[in-house]
Structure 1
Amino acid sequence: MRQSVFIGGNPADRPDLVALMEQVTKGDEQAFGQLYESVAGPAFGVVRAVVRDVAQSEEVTQEVLVEMWRRAADYRSERGSVMNWVLTLAHRRAVDRVRSVAAATEREERVALRDRLPEFDVTEAEVEARQEREDVLRCLEALTVLQRESITLAYYQGLTYREVAERLSTSLGTVKTRMRDGLIRLRDCLGVAA
């Protein structure tokens, strides 16, 4: 059963797209020209609705029509009309273009962001961290034993003031005072502004 597509006007004036497709399959360029004239407008409409940009829509439509020429043998009339086949090709190609443009834009934004971010020097960061640790250890050694033990238990082992007092068998008030005095001495030793 042959299918014909009629787009306005007298149906007798419209070409039989299935017959044209059969001729295109055999390499008939004249049949392709007629088929092209029949489907180019609707294909462009579908592409334009998805892509939006006129220039890109024209480019995608050309790609679709070239694909129609190359894949004419893939068309199966039992699956639907020639027009539906071409419009499906057009829609798929248009969606691919939109995704491709979106991915390219995202890549460009990542590159631009990366170019704006300062370079991170891992070696320099490691050297700075090691120097800071050495400075803290040196300054901890300058504290009294009770200050050093209180601060170590609280900041390195995560104990509360009460737990530090229990661990050191000292009153809570004494631990708080020693830690405050010790932290002030650490700050001064490390040269940190108050």
Structure 2
Amino acid sequence: MTLDASDLEAEQPQLWLSQVLRGEQVGLSCLFDHFSSRVYAIALRILRNEQDAEEAVADVFAQVWRRAADFDRARGSVAAWVLRLAHSRAIDRLRRRRARPDLDTTLHPDDPDAPYEVARDPAQELLTGLETQSLVRHAFAILKPEQQRCVALAFLEGLSHQEVAERTGMPLGTVKSHVRRGLMAMRSFLQERGHDRADE
């Protein structure tokens, strides 16, 4: 029995999710390659704000990394699960924004010179864990060190922005800026190489 294109489209993400369940970051990188543009498109439609949409993308893939065991194949495909997460995280973020209309005005200004902890480097740990040929690995490698550190802490350890700020000693606004700009740079890198799937 041979698989048609739709079967392959469903099976490959399942294999990547299995890798995530085994703690293999390459699986997460492949899922990010495959779904990040669609996740971003959903979040942007709901939130109508690029910054919030980028942060929702981070929320989704951090949850995929931490909660892969929650996936239930009986309820649908990996694609459907990831896109449901995108919708749910975007709605959560929208509700928080409406509950805290003054939130953006309380953020610290971006400070690229803010001190941060260097004793342990989760950015390098994440980079090493991604396969050499992975586009996400190359996209991650182009980021500035402080962006790598913030993105890695959010994805590798599943920390919230506040927790990343506490871990690194950076202001909260700086952390959010580094994560947002890092994800935007990675997304642009992937789009330039034909991995923009937002319209699929």
Say which structure is richer in helix.
1
Q: TM-score, normalised by structure 2?
A: 0.46
Q: TM-score, normalised by structure 1?
A: 0.47
Higher RCO, 1 vs 2 (CA within 8 Å, ≥6 residues apart): 2
